[in-house]
Chains A and B, each alone.
Chain A
Amino acid sequence: MSNKIKIGKCVISNNIRKLRFNANEMTQQTLADKTGVTRQTIVAIENEKYFPTLELAFRIAHVFNTPLDDVFVFSITAPVE
């Protein structure tokens, strides 16, 4: 008998584009400068091609003065048997 726990697939999306818009149309370069990364990394995060470390995620949330949950949205699909 297997004790392996089946877990669903994680999906992480983000609201950075919307938050930038609400922050007086903050540019990607400004956000990059404020978080200490390159603009390309911000582009990759927005396009969900790169998932940042917890530290960078908190830095981004800190720039927008908002909780992490408002920046990144985590959802999990039902486990496949």
Chain B
Amino acid sequence: MEGKEKQIVVTLINTLIIFGCYTFYVYTRYLANDAGLLNDNAFWGRTFLIFIPVAIVAQIVLHIIFGIINGIITREQMTDMSDERDKLIELKAIRISHWLFTFGFLLAMGSQAIGMETKVMFMTLIASGFISAIISESAKIYFYRKGV
């Protein structure tokens, strides 16, 4: 597995861990005691706003830890160099991610248009963000393996 693929796999695993841990934390800390919070817009706003910086910092920290461990095991330095192929793959993956998130956004708005509860919209937005992130990273691995 080449360096870039390793980094993508790490990002993929990190995304799963961070999302899983944060969801578990929010559920046990708030929702387990008061399920009524699901219909509180302020709760959702806080959940989203806290998640974004937490996810960014956690990704950076986990990547640094992986870089150190990988360096010790393989005695190779991870390179951040990205050339035209890397950029093309990145662009294609972002395009897929955007289309998926747009589809999720439309579903979320559709849920409100047909009068569903607000929590359905927020859950759909979270799910589409998560799925688009996973598919985007998976698409990168696919393009690196199969060609672009």
A49 partner, pick from B4, B83, B147, beta carbons under 8 A: B147
Do A50 and B148 touch across chains, with their CB atoms under 8 A apart? yes
Question: In chain B, residues 63-98, which have Cβ atoms closer than 8 Å to a Cβ of chain A?
Answer: 79, 81, 83-86
Question: In chain B, residues 33-87, which have Cβ atoms closer than 8 Å to a Cβ of chain A?
Answer: 79, 81, 83-86
Do B147 and A41 touch across chains, with their CB atoms under 8 A apart? no
Question: A36: which B residues are within 8 A, CB to CB?
Answer: 83
Residue positions of B touching A, CB distance < 8 A: 2-4, 79, 81, 83-86, 144, 146-148
Do B83 and A50 touch across chains, with their CB atoms under 8 A apart? no
Do B147 and A38 touch across chains, with their CB atoms under 8 A apart? no
Question: In chain A, residues 27-76, which have Cβ atoms closer than 8 Å to a Cβ of chain B?
Answer: 36-38, 40-41, 44, 47-50, 52-53, 56
Given the interface contacts A49-B146, A49-B147, does A38 sit within 8 Å of B84 by beta carbon? no
Do B148 and A40 touch across chains, with their CB atoms under 8 A apart? no
Question: B2: which A residues are within 8 A, CB to CB?
Answer: 40
Given the interface contacts A38-B79, A40-B2, A40-B4, does A56 sit within 8 Å of B84 by beta carbon? yes
Majority secondary structure of chain A interface residues (helix, strand, loop or mixed): loop
- Size of A's binding interface in residues, CB under 8 A: 13
Bound together, the chains give a CA A41 to CA B143 distance in angstroms of: 12
Question: Which of chain B's residues has its CB closest to A39's CB?
Answer: B2
Do A37 and B148 touch across chains, with their CB atoms under 8 A apart? no
* Smallest beta-carbon distance B82→chain A, Å: 8
15 A/B residue pairs, CB under 8 Å, sorted by A: A37-B84, A37-B85, A38-B4, A38-B83, A40-B4, A40-B85, A41-B86, A48-B147, A49-B146, A49-B148, A50-B85, A50-B148, A52-B84, A52-B85, A53-B84
